[in-house]
C-alpha cells in the first residue's frame, strides 16, 4: 500500500510503497525484494536520503511452514495495539488463502523480536546460515571503511582482512558501484572504481576474477564477430584456457548452448592430434578436461530435468482440480516461464494427438493464468509492455490512444528507470525500444500541454 512518509533528513513528505504481508506462495518476488534489501526501503525524492521504513511484517512461506511476525520495537506500540495489528495481518492472510490450503500454524504466528532473527529465518530457507550472514556483514563494513580510507590505510586494511576479500566481496563492491553511479555521485564512484582496480591487481582472487572477465570478454567478442557462438569457437577458447580449471568451467557455463556433440568431437580430435605428435601429457590433459565438461553437462541436464518435472507436477495438480480458477490461483507462486513452456508443449501435443477435450482444458488454464498475471500488473506496466512489444509506430499510436489517462510525466519517469536498468543489464535492444516509446510519449505530452 502507498503510505506517506516524512524524510527524516530534509522533512519532505513523499509517498512510498509499504508492504506488511509477504506471502511467498502468492508473491515470491516480495521475498527477493526483502532479501536484496529493497522491500520497504524508501528514498527521498528531494535529498536522496534512504532508509528502511519501520512497519509490522507478516511472513508466510507455505513450502517451509514458516508463519512469523515482526513488529519493530521502534514503533513503540503497547501490547494491546501490537496484538491488534498482528491479528489484522493474520486475518488478511487467512482470508486470501483458499480454505483447503489453510493450515493450523496460521492461527499461531511465531513472533520475531528482532529484524535480525526475522531475516536469519528467511535466509535459512535459501540455505544461508547466520555465520554466512555475519561474514557478509563484516565484508560490507570492511568495504565501507576501505572506500573512505586513504591509500596507506587501505593497504593496512587489505593486509589485515585479506581472507574476507573473496568473490562475494567483489560482488558487493560491484553492486555498490552500480548503486552509487545511479545516484550520480561521481567522486564516490571514482573512489570505488579505484578501489576495485587496486584489489583486482593486489589480491589473488582479484587477479583470478580479472583473468576470468578478460577470457569471457574475448569469448563474447569473437562470438559477436562470427555472428554467434559455434561449437568450434567454444572449443578453441576452452583449449586456449585449458590450464585454468575454474576458467574452463566459467567458459563452459557461459557457452553451454554450444556444448554439443560437435564441440566434444573437436576436443577429442585435438587430443588425438597431440597424441600423434607425441605429446602424451597434453593429450591426457585435454582428455581430462573433456571428461570434466561431460560431467558438468550431465549435471546441468539433470538439474533441467528436475525443474521440468516440478513444473509438470504443478500442471498435473491443476488439471486434477475441480475448480481450475482456484487451482491456478493457489499455484500462482510456482508459475513461471518454464511452466508456461511446459503448458504450451503439452497443449500442442494434446491437439496433435486429437485429444480435443484435454487441449481445450489446457488452453483454458493458459487463459486463466494470463488474465491473473495482467490483473496483478499495474496498468502503467501493462501499457509499457504493450508498447514495447508493438510491431511499429502506428500500432503504438493506437495503444497510446486507447489509454489516454495513463500518459503522464510519471510514465516517462518509469521509462527512464527501465532504460537505466536495461542499459546496466546490457539489454541494448530493449533500451532502444524504450527510447523510441519515450520520444513518442514526450511528443504526445507536449502536444497535450500546448492545448
- Judged by CB under 5 A, the chain residues 37 through 66 that form the site for Zn ion are 44, 46-47, 49
Q: Is 351 exposed, middle or buried (0-12, 13-18, 19+ CB in 10 A)?
A: middle
10 near Zn ion, judged by CB under 5 A: yes
Question: Minimum CB separation from Zn ion for residue 18, in Å?
Answer: 17
Of 120 and 185, nearer to Zn ion (C-beta) is 185
The answer to whether residues 86 and 109 touch, using CB atoms and an 8 Å cutoff, is yes
Comparing CB distances to Zn ion, the nearer of 47 and 345 is 47
Q: Least CB distance from residue 51 to Zn ion, whole Å?
A: 10
> Shortest distance, CB of residue 153 to Zn ion, whole angstroms?
31
Cβ nearer to Zn ion, comparing 44 with 350? 44
Nearer to Zn ion, 17 or 367 (CB): 17
Is there binding between residue 15 and Zn ion (CB under 5 A)? no
Quote the distance between the C-alpha of residue 16 and its chain's center: 22
Nearest approach, Cβ of 10 to Zn ion (angstroms)? 3
The verdict on 293 binding Zn ion (CB under 5 A) reads no
What is the C-alpha separation between 60 and 306, in angstroms, rounded? 25
Q: Do the beta carbons of residue 139 and residue 172 sit within 8 Å? A: yes
Output the smallest distance, CB 1 to Zn ion, in A. 21
Task: Give one DSSP letter per residue of 171-200, joined into a string.
Answer: HHHHHHHHHHHHTT-HHHHHHHHHHHHHHH
Task: Please name which of 384, 401, 395 lies closest in space to residue 437, comparing C-alpha atoms.
Answer: 384
| Nearer Cβ to Zn ion (46/168) | 46
Least gap, CB of 46 to Zn ion (angstroms): 5
Q: How far is the CB of 185 from Zn ion (least distance, A)?
A: 15
Give the nearest distance from C-beta 44 to Zn ion in angstroms. 3
Cβ proximity to Zn ion, 183 vs 425, nearer residue: 183
Residues 6+ apart with CB under 8 A from 195: 146, 147, 154, 173
Q: How far is CA 234 from CA 44, 250, 260, 366, in A?
A: 48, 12, 10, 38
Residue 9 contacts Zn ion per CB under 5 A: yes
Return the number of the residue (44 or 251) whose C-beta is nearest Zn ion. 44
Which stretch in 10-18, 125-133, 163-171, 212-220 sits in contact with Zn ion by CB under 5 A?
Answer: 10-18
Residue 7 engages Zn ion in binding (rule: CB under 5 A):
yes
What mask, x for binding Zn ion by CB under 5 A, covers residues 17 to 36?
Answer: --------------------
- Residues near Zn ion (CB under 5 A), total: 8
Rounded CA-CA distance 8/49 in Å is 8
Residues 6+ apart with CB under 8 A from 150: none
Q: Are 49 and 10 in contact (CB under 8 A)?
A: yes
Separation of alpha carbons 140 and 298, rounded Å: 37
Cβ-based nearer residue to Zn ion, 48 or 404: 48
Cα–Cα dist 75/97, whole Å: 29
Residues that bind Zn ion (CB under 5 A): 7, 9-10, 12, 44, 46-47, 49
Amino acid at each position: 500500500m502507498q503510505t506517506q512518509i516524512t524524510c527524516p533528513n530534509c522533512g519532505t513528505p513523499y509517498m512510498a510503497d509499504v508492504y506488511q504481508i509477504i506471502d511467498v506462495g502468492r508473491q515470491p518476488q516480495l521475498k527477493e525484494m526483502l532479501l536484496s534489501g529493497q522491500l520497504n526501503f524508501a528514498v527521498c525524492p528531494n535529498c536522496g536520503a534512504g532508509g528502511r521504513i519501520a512497519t509490522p511484517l507478516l511472513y508466510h512461506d507455505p513450502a517451509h511452514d514458516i508463519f512469523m511476525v515482526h513488529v519493530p520495537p521502534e514503533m513503540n506500540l503497547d501490547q494491546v495495539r501490537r496484538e491488534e495489528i498482528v491479528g489484522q495481518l493474520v486475518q488478511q492472510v487467512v482470508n486470501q488463502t483458499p480454505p483447503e490450503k489453510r493450515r493450523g500454524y496460521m492461527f499461531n504466528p511465531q513472533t520475531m523480536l528482532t529484524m535480525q532473527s526475522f531475516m536469519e529465518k528467511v535466509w535459512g530457507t535459501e540455505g544461508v546460515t547466520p555465520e554466512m550472514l555475519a561474514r557478509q556483514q563484516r565484508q560490507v563494513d570492511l568495504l565501507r571503511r576501505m572506500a573512505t580510507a586513504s591509500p596507506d590505510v587501505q593497504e593496512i586494511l587489505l593486509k589485515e582482512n585479506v581472507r574476507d576479500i573473496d568473490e562475494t566481496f567483489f560482488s558487493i563492491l560491484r553492486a555498490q558501484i552500480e548503486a552509487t553511479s545511479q545516484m550520480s555521485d561521481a567522486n564516490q564512484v571514482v573512489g570505488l572504481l579505484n578501489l576495485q582496480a587496486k584489489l583486482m591487481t593486489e589480491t589473488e582472487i582479484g587477479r583470478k576474477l580479472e583473468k576470468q572477465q578478460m577470457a569471457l570478454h574475448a569469448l563474447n567478442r569473437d562470438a559477436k564477430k562470427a555472428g554467434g557462438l559455434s561449437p568450434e569457437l567454444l572449443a578453441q577458447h576452452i583449449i586456449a584456457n585449458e590450464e585454468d580449471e575454474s576458467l574452463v568451467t566459467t567458459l563452459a557455463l557461459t557457452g553451454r548452448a554450444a556444448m554439443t556433440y560437435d564441440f566434444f568431437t573437436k576436443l577429442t580430435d585435438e587430443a588425438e592430434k597431440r597424441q600423434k605428435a607425441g605429446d602424451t601429457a597434453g593429450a591426457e590433459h585435454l582428455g581430462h578436461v573433456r571428461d570434466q565438461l561431460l560431467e558438468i553437462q550431465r549435471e546441468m541436464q539433470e538439474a533441467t530435468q528436475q525443474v521440468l518435472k516440478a513444473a509438470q507436477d504443478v500442471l498435473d495438480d491443476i488439471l486434477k482440480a475441480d475448480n481450475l480458477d482456484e487451482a491456478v490461483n493457489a499455484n500462482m507462486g510456482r508459475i513461471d516461464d518454464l511452466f508456461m513452456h511446459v503448458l504450451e508443449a503439452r497443449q500442442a501435443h494434446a491437439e496433435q494427438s486429437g485429444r480435443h477435450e484435454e487441449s481445450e482444458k489446457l488452453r483454458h488454464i493458459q487463459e486463466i493464468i494470463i488474465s491473473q498475471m495482467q490483473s496483478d500488473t499495474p496498468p502503467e506496466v501493462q501499457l509499457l509492455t504493450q508498447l514495447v512489444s508493438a510491431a511499429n509506430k502506428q500500432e503504438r499510436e493506437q495503444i497510446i490512444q486507447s489509454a489516454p489517462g495513463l500518459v503522464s510525466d510519471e510514465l516517462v519517469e518509469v521509462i527512464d528507470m527501465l532504460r537505466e536498468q536495461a542499459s546496466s543489464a546490457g539489454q541494448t535492444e530493449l533500451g532502444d525500444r524504450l527510447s523510441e516509446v519515450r520520444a513518442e510519449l514526450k511528443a504526445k505530452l507536449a502536444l497535450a500541454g500546448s492545448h
